[in-house]
Amino acid sequence: MAISIEADHIPGMLAKLFRGKAPVAVRAPQVDPDARVYAVGDVHGRADLLCALNQMIHEDAYAHQAPRNVVVYLGDYIDRGAQSREVLDTLIESPLPGFEHVHLLGNHEDSLLRFMEDTSVGPAWLAYGGGATLMSYGIRMPASERDLFRVQEELHRHLPESHLRFLRSCAYTHTEGDYFFVHAGVKPGVPLDAQVPDSLLWIRDEFLDSHADFGKIVVHGHTISDQPDVRRNRIGIDTGGFASNRLTCLVLAGEHWSFLQT
The CATH number of the domain holding residue 67 is: 3.60.21.10
Question: Does residue 257 form part of some domain?
Answer: yes
* Residue 7: DSSP 8-state: G
Question: Does residue 76 form part of some domain?
Answer: yes
Domain count for the chain: 1
Rounded distance, CA 83 to CA 137, Å?
9
Question: Does residue 3 form part of some domain?
Answer: no
Question: Does residue 2 form part of some domain?
Answer: no
Range of the domain at 76: 28-261
Between the alpha carbon of residue 95 and those of residues 36, 72, 102, 240, 249, the distances in Å are 16, 12, 11, 23, 16
Q: Is the pLDDT of residue 1 over 50?
A: no
Question: Does residue 167 form part of some domain?
Answer: yes
Phi/psi of residue 109, each to 5°? -65, -40
Q: How confident is the model at residue 23 (pLDDT cuts 50, 70, 90)?
A: low
Question: Does residue 11 form part of some domain?
Answer: no
Give the range among 74-78, 116-120, 141-145, 147-151 with minimum mean pLDDT. 141-145
3-state class (DSSP) for residue 68: strand
Mean pLDDT for 6-28 is: 51
Q: How do residues 225-250 score in pLDDT, each as one tens digit?
A: 999 999 999 999 999 999 999 999 99
Q: Is the pLDDT of residue 25 over 60?
A: no
Q: Is the pLDDT of residue 138 over 70?
A: yes
What is the pLDDT, as a whole number, of residue 27? 79
Question: Does residue 193 form part of some domain?
Answer: yes
Q: Is the pLDDT of residue 212 over 50?
A: yes
Question: Does residue 67 form part of some domain?
Answer: yes
What is the pLDDT, as a whole number, of residue 177? 98
* Overall pTM > 0.85: yes
